[in-house]
Amino acid sequence: RYPINELRSGIQGTVILRVLVDLDGKPTEVTVESSSGNRNLDRAALQHVLKTWRFKPAMQNGQVVQAYGLVPIAFNLQ
């Protein structure tokens, strides 16, 4: 969800998150790898991914494993 103050101010940006995906596909650890330049956009992206996203877990030698991935989240006004 776009933070309301940033939306009203026309602030845009892309944050890249580093996400640790657990065996069940849930993100267990989310950190900002590259900031959007706006703390509120970064926080909104981080919280959204941690609370609502689910991933397909990584596989290694036929087994499900924990793995890190980079996820870009773009906040664009269009």
Cα 68 to Cα 16, 23, 54, 74: the distances in Å are: 13, 12, 13, 19
SS3 assignment, position 49 = helix
Q: Mind listing the pLDDT tens digit for each residue in 30-73?
A: 999 999 999 999 999 999 999 999 999 999 999 999 999 999 99
Q: What is the pTM of this model?
A: 0.90
Alpha helix (H) residue ranges in the chain = 4-9, 39-52
Residue that the structure tokens 């939306």 belong to: 7
Position 16 confidence tier, pLDDT thresholds 50, 70, 90: very high
